[in-house]
């Protein structure tokens, strides 16, 4: 990683997941702050539960895709998968997200052609905007903690890789809420990248028990194909990277998982990790390109490979004469609990009949 923000992200990851004595001491030292954070979150939830804080009926039936932890669970690909599933069933879905940068809406547009994408920190207003643009159902990306927006279903993602760590609240751990918050969920989805199916199933069982046996599904997030930037065409099979030296660039929630997936595909990976949602500068793009050029001359990492989320930011900055920029697409595979996931989607789509009119006016509470 690069710079003080990256150093802080590295430090947080070490504190949350490290097994050495220093990490353990740091977690203990941060526990009082985590306890205070937990009290604040429980008070907030209690105010919503007792209707002392207002939540609002949305202009469209809505399904929220959220998580319990900070980043890295796969909300973007799963949200897009659900929107495409709704589209295939005849709906006109919109993806409504807060938008921490320009990358997320652009990625959604590339992953879900023909699906309306709306960016608004106020999800109530964002869904109204989606309705005005012709949508008849909304997928709320990263909205589990956004209780102001009253939706029809909550799909909550937990990473099998992150589930290995203790469920400590921020700042001592990566959890925004305790696992007991899954009691508000309609469906738990455990995603896996490098964890085995057995590890994911174990995580699903443990989490479901702590949340009154909420239904669970398991989704694999696998690397699929290698594409040259700009997007276009079907790309090359992932095994094209086998034996290749690769400069891997990632500014995502779990960069280590991306690097491990590339290595599992047979690539010789030189990692370049940046903080999640990092806004690349032209100087950084040129620095990465020079690093790749030196590697080409030295018969080294001739390929620069990143995630789609990073390609949409790096691509416009990439020097014309530099080695090509490549990105890897991701495949979403439902490995268990598919019936439960389909039932949730069907339930939300059925709520479209409650719309007051075709303009997407607010539904009765």
Binding-site annotation, residues for ATP: 69-76
Tokens of 92: 């006109």
- Reference 94, options 119, 68, 118; nearest CA is 118
152 DSSP assignment:
S
User: Given the structure tokens 């719309």, which residue do they identify?
Assistant: 355
- Reference 74, options 34, 129, 111; nearest CA is 111
Residues ≥6 apart with Cβ < 8 Å to 289 = 304, 318, 319, 322, 323
Is the torsion defined by CA of 11, 155, 238, 229 positive or negative? negative
Strand segments (E) across the chain: 56-57, 62-67, 93-97, 116-119, 137-141, 149-150, 153-159, 187-192, 216-228, 236-237, 245-250, 268-273, 303-307, 325-336
- Beta carbons within 10 angstroms of residue 193's beta carbon: 23
Residues ≥6 apart with Cβ < 8 Å to 75 = 65, 66, 67, 141, 142, 157
Task: Report the alpha-carbon distance of residue 90 to residue 95 in Å, rounded.
Answer: 16
Which residue numbers belong to the known binding site? 69-76
Yes or no: say if 62 and 149 are a contact pair by the CB < 8 Å rule: yes
299 DSSP assignment:
T
Tokens of 203: 């995580």
């Amino acid at each position: 990683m690069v710079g003080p923000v990256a150093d802080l992200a590295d430090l947080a990851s070490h504190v949350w997941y490290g097994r050495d004595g220093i990490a353990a001491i740091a977690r203990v030292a941060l526990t009082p702050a985590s306890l205070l954070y937990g009290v604040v979150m429980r008070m907030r939830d209690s105010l919503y539960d007792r209707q002392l804080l207002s939540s609002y009926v949305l202009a469209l039936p809505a399904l929220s895709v959220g998580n319990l932890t900070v980043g890295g669970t796969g909300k973007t690909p799963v949200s897009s998968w659900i929107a495409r599933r709704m589209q295939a069933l005849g709906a006109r879905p919109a993806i409504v997200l807060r938008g921490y940068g320009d990358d997320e809406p652009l990625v959604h547009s590339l992953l879900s052609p023909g699906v309306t994408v709306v960016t608004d920190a106020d999800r109530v207003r964002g869904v109204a905007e989606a309705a005005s643009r012709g949508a008849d159902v909304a997928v709320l990306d990263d909205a589990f903690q956004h209780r102001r927006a009253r939706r029809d279903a909550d799909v909550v993602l937990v990473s099998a890789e992150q589930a290995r760590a203790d469920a400590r609240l921020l700042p001592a751990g990566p959890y925004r809420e305790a696992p007991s918050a899954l009691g508000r969920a309609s469906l738990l989805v455990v995603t896996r990248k490098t964890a085995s199916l057995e590890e994911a199933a174990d995580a699903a069982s443990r989490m479901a028990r702590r949340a009154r046996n909420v239904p669970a599904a398991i989704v694999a997030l696998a690397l699929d194909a290698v594409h040259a930037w700009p997007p276009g065409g079907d790309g090359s099979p992932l095994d094209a990277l086998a034996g290749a030296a690769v400069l891997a660039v990632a500014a995502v929630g779990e960069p280590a998982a991306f690097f491990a997936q590339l290595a599992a595909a047979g690539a010789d990976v030189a990692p370049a990790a940046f903080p999640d949602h990092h806004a690349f500068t032209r100087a950084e793009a040129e620095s990465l390109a020079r690093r790749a050029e030196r590697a080409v001359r030295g018969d080294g990492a001739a390929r620069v490979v990143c995630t789609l989320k990073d390609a949409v930011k790096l691509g416009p900055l990439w020097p014309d004469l530099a080695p090509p920029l490549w990105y890897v697409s991701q495949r979403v595979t439902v490995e268990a609990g598919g019936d439960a996931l389909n039932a949730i989607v069907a339930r939300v789509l059925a709520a479209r009949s409650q719309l007051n009119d075709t303009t997407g006016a607010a539904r009765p509470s």
